[in-house]
C-alpha cells in the first residue's frame, strides 16, 4: 500500500493502511423511516433506539481495538424546541416543539459514551439529514441532489445548530474534527466560496466522502485524497451493504482503508440481540484486516493521517541509503494536525537519521510496528 519508485516496500519498509470503521446515522431516537410523509429516512429500523444500540458501537470498537467514527444526526436530541428557529432543519418547521422520544434513555446513553471516549470519535453528519422547504423535504441538508451548496447563511445556521445541540447533550467526547456529508451530496474545490471554507470555521479538519458523487470545481490533487481550504477530503468508498439493512451479514472487499456502515447494519431488530450481530462483524473484520495487511489504530484522526501517508509517501533508494519522501503528504495536509506521526514497520537494523525525526515503540498495536514522528520542516526521512 506504499508508493515507490522501485518495488513498493524497498528494503522491507512498509507503511500499513489502517482500517477505519465509519458508522453513519447515529443519534436518531426513532428509527422509523418517515420519508413517505416528509419526515427523515432515519435508520430505517422499525423501532426506537436506546442504550443497547450505543453499547453495540462501543463493543465493536473495543473488540477491534480501534476508535469508530460515528456520524451524528442530532435534531431528536433537541428537547426544548430550539430548532423551530431554523425551519429548514426539521419536518415540523416553525412548529417544531422539540423531541420527546428517548428522553428516558438519554442520561444512560450519555454515560455510556462518556465512559468510552477512547472508542467513539464523533463526527458531524447533520441536524436532520435533509433540508425542509415549506415543509417539504429536499435532499440534502447542506447540498442539493446536484451537489450545489445551500446558501451560506443556511449552511452556517445548520452547523451552528448542530454544535449547540451537541454542547447541550452532556456528551464529553473529543472535539469534533470530521464531517460526513448526508447522502454523499457534497462539493469541493471552489476555495473561499466553498463549503470546506465554512467547515474550517467550525474546526473541521477532515471530510469523508465519495469523490465521484461530489461536485468537483477542480480535480482532486490525488485520486483518493485532496485538500480544500485547509480541510482534507478522504475517499470513503462504496458502502458494502445498504443503509437500511438491519443485522447485515458482514461483507467487505478489504481493498480500501475506510469501511462505511450505517447504524442499522450492526444492530438487531431485537436490541437484546445486538451482541451477536456486532461479534460477527468484529470476527470478520479482524480476520480480513490481518489477511489484507490492514491495521486497527487506537485513534481515528491518526487513522486518517495514516491513510494519507500510506497512499502518498514515496520510498526511494539513493546513493546514501533509503529515503521516505513526505512532500505529497504535506501538500495535502500541511497544518491539519498538530502531530505528524505515522506508523510503519522497519526491517531490523535500519535506523532513522537522528536529525530527521524520532521513533516511538508501537508494539502495543502490532508487534512489528513503530511510530515515526518527523521533526518540524523535515519532508524527506533518511534511513541507513
pLDDT in tens, 165-195: 999 999 999 899 999 999 999 999 999 999 9
Q: Which parts of the chain fold into alpha helices (H)? A: 51-64, 103-114, 152-168, 195-201, 274-292, 300-312, 327-332
The mean pLDDT of 203-214, rounded to a whole number, is: 97
Q: Which residue has the higher pLDDT, 321 or 251?
A: 251
Per-domain boundaries in the chain: 3-15+299-383, 20-292
Above 70 in pLDDT, residue 337? no
**Percent of the chain surpassing pLDDT 90:** 90
36 exposed, middle or buried (CB, 10 Å; 0-12, 13-18, 19+)? exposed
The residues, any chain, with a CB within 8 Å of residue 32's CB and separated by 6 or more, are: 42, 45, 46, 47
What rounded mean pLDDT belongs to the chain? Answer: 94
**Is the CB of residue 191 less than 8 Å from the CB of residue 229?**
yes
Q: Distance of CA 259 to CAs 133, 165, 288, Å?
A: 33, 28, 12
Which residues is 373 bridged to in the sheet?
358
The whole-number pLDDT of residue 377 equals 86
Residue 256 CA to residue 292 CA, distance in Å, equals 10
Q: For residue 369, which phi and psi values (nearest 5 degrees)?
A: -95, 145
The residues, any chain, with a CB within 8 Å of residue 104's CB and separated by 6 or more, are: none
Of 118, 225, 131, 132, the closest CA to residue 173 belongs to 118
Residue 259 CA to residue 22 CA, distance in Å, equals 6
Above 90 in pLDDT, residue 261? yes
Above 90 in pLDDT, residue 7? no
Above 60 in pLDDT, residue 6? no
Q: What is the DSSP string of 261-307?
A: EEGGGG--SSGGGHHHHHHHHHHHHHHHHHHHT-B--S-HHHHHHHH
The whole-number pLDDT of residue 336 equals 58
Q: Which three cell numbers stand for residue 324?
A: 521516505
Which residues is 261 bridged to in the sheet?
23
pLDDT in tens, 139-150: 999 999 999 999
Above 90 in pLDDT, residue 349? no
What's 20-292's CATH class? alpha beta
Kindly indicate the confidence band of residue 8, based on its pLDDT and cuts at 50, 70 and 90: very low
pLDDT in tens, 359-382: 999 999 999 999 999 998 899 999
The mean pLDDT of 41-58, rounded to a whole number, is: 97
pLDDT in tens, 273-289: 999 999 999 999 999 99
Alpha carbon 286 to its chain's center: 19
DSSP class of residue 27? T
264 exposed, middle or buried (CB, 10 Å; 0-12, 13-18, 19+)? buried
State pTM to two decimals: 0.95
Q: Poorest-confidence range of 80-94, 289-303, 329-343?
A: 329-343
Amino acid at each position: 500500500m506504499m508508493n515507490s519508485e522501485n518495488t513498493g516496500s524497498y528494503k522491507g519498509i512498509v507503511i500499513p493502511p489502517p482500517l477505519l470503521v465509519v458508522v453513519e446515522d447515529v443519534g436518531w431516537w426513532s428509527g422509523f423511516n418517515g420519508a413517505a410523509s416528509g419526515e427523515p429516512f432515519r435508520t430505517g429500523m422499525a423501532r426506537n433506539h436506546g442504550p443497547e444500540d450505543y453499547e453495540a458501537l462501543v463493543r465493536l470498537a473495543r473488540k477491534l481495538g480501534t476508535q469508530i467514527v460515528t456520524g451524528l444526526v442530532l435534531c431528536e436530541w433537541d428537547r426544548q424546541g430550539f430548532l423551530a428557529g431554523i425551519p429548514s432543519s426539521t419536518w415540523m418547521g416553525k412548529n417544531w416543539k422539540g423531541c420527546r422520544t428517548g428522553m428516558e434513555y438519554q442520561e444512560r446513553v450519555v454515560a455510556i459514551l462518556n465512559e468510552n471516549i477512547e472508542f467513539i470519535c464523533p463526527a458531524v453528519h447533520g441536524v436532520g439529514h435533509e433540508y425542509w422547504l415549506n415543509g417539504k423535504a429536499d435532499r440534502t441538508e447542506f447540498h442539493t441532489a446536484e451537489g450545489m451548496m445551500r446558501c451560506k447563511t443556511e449552511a452556517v445556521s445548520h452547523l451552528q445548530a448542530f454544535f449547540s445541540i451537541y454542547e447541550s447533550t452532556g456528551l464529553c467526547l473529543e472535539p469534533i474534527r470530521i464531517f460526513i456529508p448526508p447522502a454523499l451530496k457534497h462539493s469541493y474545490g471552489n476555495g473561499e466560496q466553498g463549503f470546506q471554507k465554512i467547515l474550517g470555521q467550525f474546526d473541521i479538519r477532515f471530510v469523508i466522502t465519495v469523490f465521484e458523487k461530489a461536485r468537483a470545481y477542480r480535480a482532486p490533487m490525488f485520486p483518493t485524497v485532496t485538500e480544500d481550504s485547509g480541510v482534507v477530503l478522504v475517499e470513503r468508498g462504496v458502502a458494502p451493504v445498504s443503509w437500511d439493512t438491519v443485522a447485515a451479514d458482514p461483507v467487505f472487499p478489504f481493498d480500501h482503508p475506510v469501511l462505511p456502515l450505517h447504524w442499522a447494519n450492526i444492530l438487531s431488530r431485537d436490541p437484546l440481540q445486538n451482541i451477536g450481530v456486532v461479534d460477527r462483524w468484529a470476527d470478520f473484520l479482524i480476520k480480513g484486516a490481518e489477511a489484507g495487511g490492514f491495521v486497527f489504530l487506537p485513534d481515528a484522526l491518526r487513522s486518517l493521517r495514516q491513510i494519507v501517508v500510506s497512499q502518498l509517501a514515496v520510498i526511494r533508494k539513493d546513493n546514501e541509503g533509503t529515503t521516505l519522501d513526505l512532500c505529497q503528504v504535506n501538500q495535502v495536509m500541511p497544518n491539519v494536525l498538530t502531530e505528524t506521526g505515522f506508523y510503519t514497520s522497519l526491517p531490523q537494523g535500519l535506523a532513522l537519521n537522528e536529525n530527521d525525526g524520532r521513533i516511538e515503540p508501537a508494539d502495543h498495536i502490532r508487534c512489528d510496528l513503530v511510530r515515526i514522528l518527523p521533526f518540524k520542516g523535515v519532508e524527506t526521512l533518511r534511513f541507513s
